[in-house]
Structure 1
Amino acid sequence: MKKILLFCLIMTSPLFAQISRVEPPFWYTGMHKSEVQILFYGKNIAENEVSVSNNIPIKEIKKTENPNYLFVTIDTKNIPAQELLFTFSKNKKTSFTKKYSIKERKTNSSQRKGFDASDVVYLIMSDRFANGNPKNDSDPTVTEKYDRTKPGGRHGGDIAGMIQHLDYIKELGATAIWPTPLCEDNDKAYSYHTYGQSDVYKIDPRFGTNEEYVQLAAELHKRDMKLIMDYVTNHWGAEHWMIKDLPTYDWLHQFPGYAQTNYKMTTQFDSNASKIDAKMCMDGWFVKSMPDLNQSNPLVLNYLIQNAIWWIEYADLDGFRVDTYSYCDKEGISKWTKAITDEYPNFNIVGEVWMHQQAQMAYWQKDSKIGAIQNYNSYLPSVMDFTLHDAVSTVFNENEASWDKGIVKVYDNFTNDFLYPNINNILTFVENHDTMRFNEIYKNDFKKYQMAMTLLATSRGIPQLYYGSEIGMAGNKDKDGDAAIRQDFPGGWKGDTNNAFSASGRTPEQEKFFVFTSKLFQWRKTNDAIHFGKTTHYIPENNVYVYFRHTDKKTVMVVLNNNSKSQTINLARFKENLQNTTSGKSVLDNKTIDLTKELTLEGETAIILELN
């Protein structure tokens, strides 16, 4: 009885208070921007005055219409790593205190080098790659439980599974991984994709822990590989803890409540666009279950900036891929991007700008001359090359060339490279987690896969592979929905009869796809003419496309014969690049090829030659 009475007295004492949230949970010394705005959340916390120990200056205390929030900005300039004590008081009496850590940064953290055109990015659907720890398949703190029988359910893929198969990814030739979002998504169903996040400072327990995410980065770095975080700036999930008790009404775009985006991203720069259309693109919600964040609200913007920087420091990240980048408030997302690249000048960020004209995509890349027409700079280092994806999705079924069909589509795509401020820093791909599987479109035609991968490996930009393509994985999205393009990787689950992670476990067909892909992308690592060289290409003839990647010291010749029949090409036309070269080494079979007169290729084949 005495113990119970004592507990009750403690609970009702003014010195006891439950602070439910502190975000960021800690911060770092020596940041370019020395001020940090700390969110304290708890019942009626704004009724208190705040002070902090060690003579740390408080620059601002921000209260909102919700008394459960306090935003306290401190200046960490020139202070060493230490533990601070925040004191919350009322009527000059201490109500409660809260410790807060300022930690040491990693050496040269600000100069970390992001991914670039020397890398190959491997995109992983996190829930569908490998179940390394079945013990975390379900968790009492989140709603949706493991159910592999549901195509759209939680299947148990996790961080442990990624770590266990990093050597497989490295053997494939990839140098960086991009897992789909790993932060907590507490939706009642369809939570596996994790784009509707409910806590952006916490790894979803069904994927693992924050500590395991840090371990993932460390294991990648041991292998000279990189970690790219899939970051979402445009929206959170409806189950996000803050959505349940908004700091301010305008933390979200409200109409009041929900209104859907019109998805017309062209309204962001269309000089003829009506104001209401532009507003509905930026402010409308992507879907009803994903409330749209208002990046024009300084509190929201600063929260997102600090969260992004916190993850870079904490997990030692090498880059971001930003979801639905061009749906954000364009001025707000520009400030977000600049704040990160000011802190990390060599850090790379690629934005999802899903548009179908090069000028429209180039508008969003840093220092775009197109954006400059409207005095706009996104500061976004990299964009995704959706127009190349569009071409590749049809071109290899167009064996008969015409003015606008066949391999000329690829040529025409590259003719617009001049629109991009930095053509080497765009992400190229033939498919991703939202598109039809390449091997579904082309019915696992290995020759067409070889042509597409050759193009991806040798053209300008940063190539991105989607997990499973390298073993021939297909799936019909139009017929069977998203689950069809996000299937479980064979061998990632205990009891799988087919283990495609090992040569002995792969079927002959899977092995054929894997061996080719691995050889191609392992070679790519070795040739800087492919990474950062200039491109010179020639107008296709008879559905045959010839291009060169070259530096002052190296030249690579690529020939794609998209014709169903064998073709012989007269090499005199390519004297500009061949110069006095008489032979070249075929990269994939090490054969020496005579380049003095003609070159003959079988139908639907590709060849890569390092010139001697």
Structure 2
Amino acid sequence: MKKLLSLLLLISAAAFAQIQKTEPPFWYAGMKNPSLQLMFYGENIGQYVVSVSNDVTITDVTRTGNPNYIFVTIDTKNISKSTTLTFSFSEKRKTVFTKKYEIRDREKNSALRKGFDASDAIYLIMPDRFANGNPSNDNTDNTAEKMDRSKPSGRHGGDIKGIIDHLDYIQSTGATTVWNTPLCEDNDPRGSYHGYAQSDVYNIDPRYGTNEDYLRLSSELHKRNMKLVLDYVTNHWGSEHWMIKDLPTYDWIHQFPGYGQSNYRMTTQYDPYHSETDKKYCVDGWFVKTMPDLNQANPLVLNYLIQNAIWWIEYANLDGFRVDTYSYCDKEGISKWTKAITDEYPYFNIVGEVWMHDQAQMAYWQKDSKIGAIQNYNSYLPSVMDFTLHDAISGVFNEDKASWDKGIIKVYENFVNDFLYPNPNSILVFAENHDTQRISHWYPDLNKYKMAMTLVATIRGIPQLYYGSEIGMTGDKHKGDGDIRHDFPGGWNGDANDAFSPSGRTETQKQYFDFTSKLFNWRKSKTLIHNGKTMQFLPEENVYVYFRYNDSESVMVIINNSDQKKTFGTARFKEGMKDFKTGKDVLAGTDFDITKEISIDAKTSLILELK
């Protein structure tokens, strides 16, 4: 009777301790770093002794103050191919329950995958606002917010299938790479469409589709020789994340206790005179109240984020990350995160959002920065976003009259400071993104849009387009973020205007699209733009001239930011023109004699292939 009672109690305990979550859900054989930390979650699971099959060694077991978690680290160096491990959970030397765990084969040469670079052009999509390919998933039983297109900050129903359905369109713009804002589950009751308050970082939000749909997107892009960039968030999760609701450790997130608002002053990360209080409220403060701030200084958190990132690379065959709010993270922790990924994938690219307004402060965050080295810091981050160029673009084309510090000189001066960057050719350049004013709000004039896009397409770095810019979509951030994130016309059944189709575009949309498409499709094959050298000349009378060149080719770019037609002599540009006599306008097909002088209309640009 006593034995029977003990057995019943054991069975009862096992029932309560059945594993609710295992993360990562599976792993891969042959990783450079053989250490794998598994998180098992279940009622009182921490009370059990854990063992594993297949002669695999457990190198560490961590139990936390929360008995519902146990972290088990194994050594996978002897696992060279796919297999299934069995984890046994025991009490008093008796196995109470077991858990099968799959180790999969990696894709051949996975570690050598090549990330996006300056030969690419990135097309940034906010999936909820792009196209609704599958109306049946607009609302789901297990997510809180329901579709309501009447609300600027509501969910509108765009999804992964909508992106897949329009890959031919995206490719026709000249883009080679797709960056989607986060697609993982965001179960906030309001404003969940942007995806940055994730509630499950191993599963795609069901309103976008399934994990399998995301794999299909990756596959369809690669069939077209295009690339996929995942928007990764290291700084915070959403308050609806299941782990936030049952924290593994008190310091899994930064607590004050509970919520503390960030002061957003990223300069405190390297200010030699900073107060610890100010730095703490930047790094540890929450971005907003619904986004608890992750503690990357906690080794369990850091390892969880590293493994989650690597899992997505392997699982979805990714070509890069864009990392949200990179410089808000614990800088030592985010450096370790970045190095762990680039150690595993030496040719993978990661671009960090470092929203600063000073080149030295941005250059601090790029890999091997001499500025960072002053403080013995290396982020290992291959790429940063050129926000100072964005700052210049946001106003310069409305400055018709040049002065010492007004007009196109602002663009020239931006590149003067490139000596601060370890690798300026790996910087992401853009006129706008999902957090800024729409460029067509600044410049409702098509000619000014053309000047801005000419600049983005021909300078050093990796150009990024924002969905809808290529058809002149507008938006005013002062009216709220929803206004700069309108639905793409034609992405929903019943839309009056289908801008995905050439025949469905308005005349204005056609003018924007035809220019953008021709420009960026031309750029695709121009290696001297991808990795050539730059020579720029001081602007005169608001006219800016620069050359992109290599040993055999040269392109002359002219931007007339004046409101007057300009004619200027070319002798001054002999260094850049070398012995070339003519230039062919790559957009209009017109030939120019460049031996004496060039005329250019007001508020226009020229790209001349020299011959």
TM-score (norm 2): 0.98
Amino acid at match of 2:507: P
Distance 2:10 2:504 in 1: 61
Misfit runs of 4+, over 3 Å: 8-17
Which residue does 2:484 correspond to in 1?
485
| SS of aligned partner of 2:498 | coil
Amino acid at match of 2:216: Q
Which residue does 1:134 correspond to in 2?
135
Distance 2:16 2:128 in 1: 41
Q: 1:280: how far off?
A: 1.2
Q: Which string of whole-angstrom CA distances, capped at 9 and with x for unpartnered residues, describes residues 322-373 of structure 1? A: 0000000000000000000000000000000000000000000000000000
Distance 1:228 1:264 in 2: 28
Cα gap change, 1:226/1:603 in structure 2, threshold over 3 Å: closer, same or farther?
Answer: same
Which residue does 2:146 correspond to in 1?
145
Matches within 5 A, 1:172-191: 172-191=173-192
Distance 1:10 1:510 in 2: 69
Which residue does 1:572 correspond to in 2?
571
Matches within 5 A, 1:207-606: 207-442=208-443, 444-478=444-478, 480-606=479-605
Q: 1:14: how far off?
A: 3.9
Residues 184 and 194 in structure 1, CA contact (< 8 A), matched pair in contact too = yes
| SS of aligned partner of 2:571 | helix
Matches within 5 A, 1:116-131: 116-131=117-132
Distance 1:403 1:14 in 2: 76
Amino acid at match of 1:516: F
Amino acid at match of 1:459: I
Distance 1:236 1:427 in 2: 25
Residues 569 and 598 in structure 1, CA contact (< 8 A), matched pair in contact too = yes
Q: 1:114: how far off?
A: 0.2
Q: Which string of whole-angstrom CA distances, capped at 9 and with x for unpartnered residues, describes residues 272-314 of structure 1? A: 1111111111111111100000000000000000000000000
| SS of aligned partner of 1:416 | helix
Amino acid at match of 2:605: A
Cα gap change, 1:10/1:204 in structure 2, threshold over 3 Å: closer, same or farther?
Answer: farther
Q: 1:10: how far off?
A: 11
Amino acid at match of 1:238: S
Which residue does 2:607 correspond to in 1?
608
Identity of aligned residues (%): 68
Residues 10 and 16 in structure 1, CA contact (< 8 A), matched pair in contact too = no
Q: 1:18: how far off?
A: 2.2
| SS of aligned partner of 1:523 | helix
Which residue does 2:5 correspond to in 1?
none
Residues 118 and 425 in structure 2, CA contact (< 8 A), matched pair in contact too = yes
Q: 1:16: how far off?
A: 7.8
Distance 1:450 1:154 in 2: 32
Residues 178 and 229 in structure 2, CA contact (< 8 A), matched pair in contact too = yes
Distance 1:108 1:336 in 2: 22
Which residue does 1:90 correspond to in 2?
91
| SS of aligned partner of 2:295 | coil
Q: Which string of whole-angstrom CA distances, capped at 9 and with x for unpartnered residues, describes residues 99-121 of structure 1? A: 00000000000000000000000
Q: Which string of whole-angstrom CA distances, capped at 9 and with x for unpartnered residues, describes residues 64-84 of structure 1? A: 111100100111113121011
Which residue does 2:205 correspond to in 1?
204
Distance 1:603 1:592 in 2: 19
Which residue does 2:54 correspond to in 1?
54
Cα gap change, 1:16/1:44 in structure 2, threshold over 3 Å: closer, same or farther?
Answer: closer
Residues 16 and 96 in structure 1, CA contact (< 8 A), matched pair in contact too = no
Q: Which structure 1 residue ranges, 5 or more long, are not aligned? A: 1-7
Distance 1:406 1:392 in 2: 10
Amino acid at match of 2:533: K
Which residue does 1:3 correspond to in 2?
none
Residues 121 and 176 in structure 1, CA contact (< 8 A), matched pair in contact too = yes
Q: Which string of whole-angstrom CA distances, capped at 9 and with x for unpartnered residues, describes residues 30-54 of structure 1? A: 0010110000000000110011111
Distance 1:13 1:356 in 2: 57
Cα gap change, 1:49/1:11 in structure 2, threshold over 3 Å: closer, same or farther?
Answer: closer
Residues 475 and 483 in structure 2, CA contact (< 8 A), matched pair in contact too = yes
| SS of aligned partner of 1:475 | coil
Distance 1:548 1:147 in 2: 49
Which residue does 1:101 correspond to in 2?
102
Amino acid at match of 2:381: L
Which residue does 1:161 correspond to in 2?
162
Distance 2:18 2:135 in 1: 34
Amino acid at match of 2:113: R
Q: 1:13: how far off?
A: 7.2
Amino acid at match of 2:554: T
Which residue does 1:77 correspond to in 2?
77
Amino acid at match of 1:236: W
Q: Which string of whole-angstrom CA distances, capped at 9 and with x for unpartnered residues, describes residues 126-155 of structure 1? A: 100000000100111111111111111110
Residues 16 and 95 in structure 1, CA contact (< 8 A), matched pair in contact too = no
Q: Indicate whether 1:31 and 2:54 are aligned.
A: no
Distance 1:328 1:464 in 2: 24
Residues 129 and 486 in structure 2, CA contact (< 8 A), matched pair in contact too = yes
Distance 1:10 1:328 in 2: 44
Distance 1:495 1:153 in 2: 19
Moved more, 75-84 or 338-347: 75-84
Distance 1:100 1:556 in 2: 56
Q: 1:240: how far off?
A: 0.3
Distance 1:217 1:14 in 2: 40
Residues 534 and 546 in structure 2, CA contact (< 8 A), matched pair in contact too = yes
Residues 16 and 44 in structure 2, CA contact (< 8 A), matched pair in contact too = no
Distance 1:15 1:393 in 2: 60
Distance 1:440 1:589 in 2: 26
Q: What CA RMSD, in Å, does the superposition of the two structures yield over aligned residues?
A: 1.2
Distance 1:542 1:602 in 2: 13
Distance 2:120 2:248 in 1: 41
Which residue does 1:4 correspond to in 2?
none
Amino acid at match of 1:149: S
Cα gap change, 1:301/1:10 in structure 2, threshold over 3 Å: closer, same or farther?
Answer: closer
Distance 1:232 1:594 in 2: 51
Amino acid at match of 1:23: E
Moved more, 542-551 or 272-281: 272-281
Distance 1:130 1:272 in 2: 49
Amino acid at match of 1:604: K
Distance 1:568 1:315 in 2: 53
Amino acid at match of 1:68: N
Amino acid at match of 1:588: L
Amino acid at match of 2:456: L
Residues 11 and 96 in structure 2, CA contact (< 8 A), matched pair in contact too = no
Distance 1:10 1:487 in 2: 57
Distance 1:535 1:423 in 2: 11
Q: 1:15: how far off?
A: 7.0
Q: 1:12: how far off?
A: 3.5
Distance 2:540 2:484 in 1: 35
Distance 1:410 1:112 in 2: 34
Distance 1:11 1:62 in 2: 24
| SS of aligned partner of 2:120 | coil
